[in-house]
Amino acid sequence: MRLALRDAEEVVNTYLDIADRATDQRVLEEAQKHAEQAMGRLALVRSLLADPDES
């Protein structure tokens, strides 16, 4: 699970970095959308680590 947490954090950071560097509005919006989805998955992984009995 710790590996899943690290991977989820890296994905969020990748999309946020893309959004930060975007010069095209469409790229910015897509990166933000994907970052938001990735943050949801990151929250899920964190909640599972906090309380593994909830799975």
Domain residue ranges in the chain: 2-54
Residue range 32-48: average pLDDT?
95
CA distance 33 to 12: 11
Contacts 24+ apart (CB under 8 A), 28-33: none
Q: Which residue has the higher pLDDT, 4 or 52?
A: 4
* DSSP character at residue 24: S
Checking if the pLDDT of 37 tops 70, the result is yes
Would you give the DSSP letter of residue 53?
Answer: G
State the pTM of this model.
0.82
**pLDDT band for position 54 (cuts 50, 70, 90):** low
